[in-house]
Amino acid sequence: MKKLLIIDFGSSKTPAIETMVYEFADYLTVPFEETNDTTAIDFDGVILSGAPILITEQNLSHYLERLNWIKSTEKPVLGICFGHQILGLLYHAYPARMKDCRTMNEIEQFAECPILNRLPQIFEMQEDHCESISIPEEFVLVANSDECINEVMQHEKKSLYGVQFHPEVSGNYGAIIFENFIQLC
C-alpha cells in the first residue's frame, strides 16, 4: 500500500483529507513546523493542506525556505488551497486578493491532467478562499472558474499539482482526485 505524507498547515479540513486518503493509502500527518527537507524521504507522495493564513498579509519566507525541497523532489506533490498557493509561490507566482468564495463552485477543465482523470469537463468543488495566485513559472494552467483563474495547475515536467478548491470536502469528485493522485505515487 502507498504511504502518503500529509503536511498540515493548521487547516480544520485536514481530518477530511485523512478520511479521503485512508481508503487508498497509509498516511502520516505531520504539522508543518515539524517538517524539514528529509521528512518526505520514506513516503510515496506528499499532500500540502490548506491553512487559515492569508498569503497577501503574511511574510511567507519561513514557509518557502522550509519547503524549498519540493523543487527538487521526484515524489508527487498535491497542494490544496494554501498548499496550492505555497506551491505556486515556490515557483514565483504572484498572490492576489479576490472576493470571498466559500460555496460549491463550477470548475472548468480545459487541459489534460492526471489528477482530473474520470472527471467531467465541468465539475463542482467546494471553495473556501479569498486569495489566488498567478500561473507560476514552469506550470501549466489546467482548470479555472468564474471566481478564480487558477483553480488547477500542474508542473510542466514534474508530478507537482495544485488545486485552489477543497476536494476533501467535495464528495465523490473530490475522492476521485485523491484516488488519481495516489495512483501517481
101 an active-site residue? Answer: no
Q: Which of 18, 84, 166, 185 is catalytic?
A: 166
Q: Which of 18, 131, 151, 168 is catalytic?
A: 168
Q: Which of 129, 160, 161 is nearest to 147 (CA)?
A: 129
Q: Which of 81, 101, 113, 185 is catalytic?
A: 81
168 an active-site residue? Answer: yes
124 an active-site residue? Answer: no
The residue to which cell 483529507 is assigned: 17
Transcribe 70-100 into DSSP letters: GGG--S-EEEETHHHHHHHHHTT--EEEEEE
Helix (H, G, I), strand (E, B) or coil at 154: strand
Distances from the Cα of 99 to the Cα of 77, 115, 139, angstroms: 28, 27, 24
- CA 43 to CA 26: how far, in whole Å? 10
Active site residues: 81, 166, 168
